[in-house]
Structure 1
């Protein structure tokens, strides 16, 4: 068996796909989760297997309790355990200023963001606590700390996620389980960056000290660090991956 079994939600493209490939390259078995992107997910798994790694594709909507239970049961049934959760799946959100933002829009984003994190964390923790080993890695965004016009729904929802992870980290630390947040700036070649104008994308790159947007591979390497044993004594942290755009 590979060194660790890692479930990556929303792994059919972007950060999730890059994280699956990076974790597999480091010797881990990876579970490529998707909601409705089977072809892309199978392509990621094919890449992993072609490079000599182990991959399993599992469909499931992380906001649906039955799907989450089925995904975890499938992983444990296939490999006997689950060591690492990388929660990357993005739920939809509007890009709009607060003046035009309805409570239904904001409330829906908050509900879906926290519902997914709660369901997944609840599902994976009991076995991790029993085995006294686990790695929880959650994808957030720099927008949870540095506002940008139109991004209030995403920024507020991810700020709630950031706080959730700190509380989980404090509670599970005595059981050998860590929980950390990886918070990239705008990442090139993702669903979010695809919704931005070329002009705004260029402005964001120019405002970054390293003069470019983050790439999925940049984020994946930080995810892999928190998923491994080099970060065994790091928990409750918020790790920016932004080329110096935000320096907390």
Structure 2
């Protein structure tokens, strides 16, 4: 196994002001990458992530952009290029809004709108970084999926369907970009403690945890470690796959 440090690689993490994205940013920085913390509106939180990375001796910058906006995405890519160089690692973890409704309740605008936003963001971010990766003959792209793409849950049809589309998209992109030295993979978490904390009470969280083989919810760091594997050189011969970080909730 190669050294886990990836000194000097430029890593752009979308939606990195909190939660999984922030955990990924801190971990990749600790492994020597120069990290770009993307955020849409949470500037103070993004700057806190950058400050924590710098205080630990890492290199980081925060860049604002709505990943659904083409001009904003292209502007972010140019800003990163000018400050750090071409993006070599893309971790797309930004979560676009979605309705929590059953099929009976949800409208096409709500379901189709989520699908459109999910795929538009992934498409725009990938388009923005692939030319630079192609020039270098090296790239790592990691999308954040969800166990809901394979294990339906009440009220989650919009998120589960859009993440299933993202996984399919990733395989097609992986097939096309592989000859250029670019790998494309998905990390699909199950229930994550930090994301459920505001929505579920303690009893509900315990019920969720009991459904996993390991008997607990994932932490943001659990997910970040899987992302870091795909973002580094140890995964250089792995592409087009989905890592189920779900504690055995769903097994392949």
Equivalence for 2:213: 209
Equivalence for 1:57: 62
What do residues 72-130 of structure 1 show as CA deviations (whole Å, max 9, x unaligned)?
A: 11111101221100000000011111110100100110010000000010111011111
Given that 2:17 and 2:45 are in contact with CA atoms closer than 8 Å, whether structure 1 keeps it comes out as: yes
Given that 2:7 and 2:31 are in contact with CA atoms closer than 8 Å, whether structure 1 keeps it comes out as: no
In the TM superposition, residue 62 of structure 1 has moved relative to its aligned partner by 0.1
SS at match of 1:23: helix
Change (3 A) 1:92 1:196: farther
1:57-206 map, 5 Å: 57-190=62-195, 194-206=198-210
Distance 1:121 1:193 in 2: 31
In the TM superposition, residue 203 of structure 1 has moved relative to its aligned partner by 1.2
Given that 2:10 and 2:85 are in contact with CA atoms closer than 8 Å, whether structure 1 keeps it comes out as: no
Distance 2:194 2:63 in 1: 23
Distance 2:117 2:172 in 1: 19
Given that 2:11 and 2:91 are in contact with CA atoms closer than 8 Å, whether structure 1 keeps it comes out as: yes
Distance 2:164 2:241 in 1: 13
SS at match of 1:205: helix
- Indicate yes or no: 2:50 matched with 1:36: no
Match of 1:218 among 215, 222, 231: 222
In the TM superposition, residue 186 of structure 1 has moved relative to its aligned partner by 1.0
Distance 1:171 1:246 in 2: 28
- Indicate yes or no: 2:53 matched with 1:48: yes
Given that 1:2 and 1:54 are in contact with CA atoms closer than 8 Å, whether structure 2 keeps it comes out as: no
Distance 1:80 1:2 in 2: 14
- CA RMSD, Structure 1 to Structure 2 (Å): 1.2
Which blocks of at least 5 consecutive residues in structure 2 are unaligned? 1-5
TM-score, length basis structure 1: 0.97
Distance 2:173 2:198 in 1: 32
Which blocks of at least 5 consecutive residues in structure 1 are unaligned? none
Equivalence for 1:7: 12
Change (3 A) 1:199 1:93: farther
Query: Paired residues, what number?
Result: 247
